[in-house]
């Protein structure tokens, strides 16, 4: 896993924290990555920013000190303390997470003993600084002991590494989550592939059923989407609709394709197809709604449907949508045993059953699709 310090720590928040530390303890800090980019900077002294680094000649000396520290940080254990050629003390420690050296933490711009004012007067003269302002800036640099400097550095180092480790854990969790989502996508692809394979099987045997299932899927998904159902529900409806009549492979094809009236016995056989369909798909690793909607697609709200005569709330929304789409498609297309009855007859059929056999909201959405929204079968 490749990561930078910025990937582990929220730099904006960390900068805020370091600013607070500077307000409370006069702690000048900076994080510089391995490419010398300054990631955070807090409380840098005017003597450095407004004088030493603001003048080309004196800045050269600053950079020399920076290089010294960076070079010695490679083997620093646990830190480097260095008095720069301008007389200020800097200290730095590497930030190491899971054995990776990510950046360096600098603190400093302090004196370890009371500054020698003559030394700084000479500096002002050498680089042409305004002496009064320069000495005022020098007077603001804190004087701390070496032990204090080490303590501060140790504290900052621990805090940074703890935060970075927490960030690292979070990154690992995100990676795991991504992996899990990828596996889920693969699984749902294989679920869809099983459904397509089943639909292909029914297509080979019975082209009427195959075309019917595809058109029912188109209408059922349009109804579900018009009703504002969740994308997962629409996807389940799409898959379930595509194989809702798969149980018909148990019915002899001369009964299915018989022109004219079928006998009562033949009708009883046909009425078994939702059960057969359910049995075929129930052991596939599918969302539970898919086998249930296959089982229930001929059920009616008033209990007049088959195979169970389930009523009202026992019929899930996916099945309610599928049953309306099923009736409309079946009536409006050609069948071996009767001619096409037309879409108007189909819509009248579901209007007649609105609120009794069929769910009112589903009927309204379906009628609206045909009469107001220009829906047409394209399969």
The mark string for 275-304 relative to Fe ion (x by CB under 5 A, - otherwise) is: ------------------------------
Q: Cβ closer to Fe ion: 245 or 299?
A: 245
- Our CB check for Fe ion shows the closer of 29 and 296 to be 296
Comparing every residue's Cβ against Fe ion, the nearest one is 245
Q: Are residues 52 and 12 in contact, defined by beta-carbon separation less than 8 angstroms? A: no
- Under 8 Å between Cβ of 234 and 218: no
Nearer to Fe ion among residue 170 and residue 338 (C-beta): 338
DSSP secondary structure, 280-341, as one string: HHTTSS--THHHHHHHHTT--TBS-SSSS--BGGGS-HHHHHHHHHHHHHHHHS-BTTB---
- Count how many Cα atoms sit within 13 Å of the Cα of residue 302 in the half-sphere of its side chain: 8
Which residue, 66 or 326, is less far from Fe ion as judged by CB? 326
State which of positions 239-278 bind Fe ion (CB under 5 A): 245
Shortest distance (Å) from residue 357 CB to Fe ion: 15
The interface region with Fe ion, picked from 23-31, 47-55, 238-246, 343-351 by CB under 5 A, is 238-246
Q: How far apart (Å, rounded) are the C-alpha atoms in residues 161 and 173?
A: 18
| Site map (CB under 5 A) of Fe ion, residues 22-61, x = contact | ----------------------------------------
Angle between helices 131-139 and 117-127 (to 10 degrees): 140
Shortest distance in whole angstroms from residue 212 CB to Fe ion? 8
- Binding piece for Fe ion, criterion CB under 5 A, among 112-120, 131-139, 237-245, 278-286: 237-245
Tell me whether residue 206 or residue 245 sits nearer to Fe ion (CB atom).
245
DSSP annotation of 48 reads I
Specify the DSSP element, H or E, that contains 125: helix 117-127
Which residues make up the interface to Fe ion (CB under 5 A)? 245
């Amino acid at each position: 896993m490749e990561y930078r310090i910025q990937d582990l720590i929220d730099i904006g928040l960390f900068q805020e924290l370091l600013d607070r530390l500077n307000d409370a303890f006069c702690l000048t800090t900076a994080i510089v990555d391995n490419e010398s980019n300054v990631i955070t900077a807090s409380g840098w002294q005017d003597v450095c920013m407004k004088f030493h680094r603001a003048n080309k000649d004196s800045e050269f000396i600053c950079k020399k000190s920076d290089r010294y520290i960076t070079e010695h940080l490679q083997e620093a254990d646990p830190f480097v303390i260095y008095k720069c050629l301008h007389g200020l003390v800097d200290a730095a420690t590497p930030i190491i997470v899971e054995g990776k050296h990510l950046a360096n933490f600098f603190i400093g711009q302090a004196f370890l003993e009371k500054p020698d004012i003559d030394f700084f007067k000479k500096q002002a003269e050498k680089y042409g600084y305004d002496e009064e302002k320069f000495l005022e800036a020098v007077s603001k640099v804190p004087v701390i002991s070496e032990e204090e400097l080490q303590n501060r550095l140790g504290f900052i180092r621990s805090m940074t590494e703890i935060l970075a480790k927490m960030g690292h854990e979070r990154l690992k969790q995100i990676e795991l989550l991504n992996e899990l989502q990828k596996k889920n996508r693969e699984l749902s692809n294989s679920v869809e592939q099983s459904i397509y394979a089943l639909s292909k099987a029914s297509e080979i045997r019975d082209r009427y059923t195959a075309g019917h299932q595809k058109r029912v899927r188109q209408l059922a998904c349009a109804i579900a989407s018009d009703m504002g159902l969740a994308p997962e529900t629409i996807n389940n409806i799409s898959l379930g609709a595509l194989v809702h009549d798969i149980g018909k492979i148990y019915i002899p094809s001369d009964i299915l394709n018989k022109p004219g009236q079928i006998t009562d016995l033949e009708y009883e056989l046909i009425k078994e197809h939702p059960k057969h369909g359910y049995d075929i798909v129930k052991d596939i690793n599918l969302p539970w709604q898919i086998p249930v909607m296959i089982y229930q697609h001929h059920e009616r709200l008033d209990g007049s449907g088959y195979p169970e005569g389930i009523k009202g709330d026992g019929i899930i929304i996916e099945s309610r949508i599928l049953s309306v789409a099923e009736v409309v498609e079946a009536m409006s297309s050609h069948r071996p045993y009767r001619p096409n009855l037309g879409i108007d007859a189909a819509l009248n059929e579901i209007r007649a059953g609105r609120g009794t056999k069929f769910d009112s909201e589903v009927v309204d959405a379906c009628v609206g699709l045909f009469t107001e929204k220009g829906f047409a079968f394209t399969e």
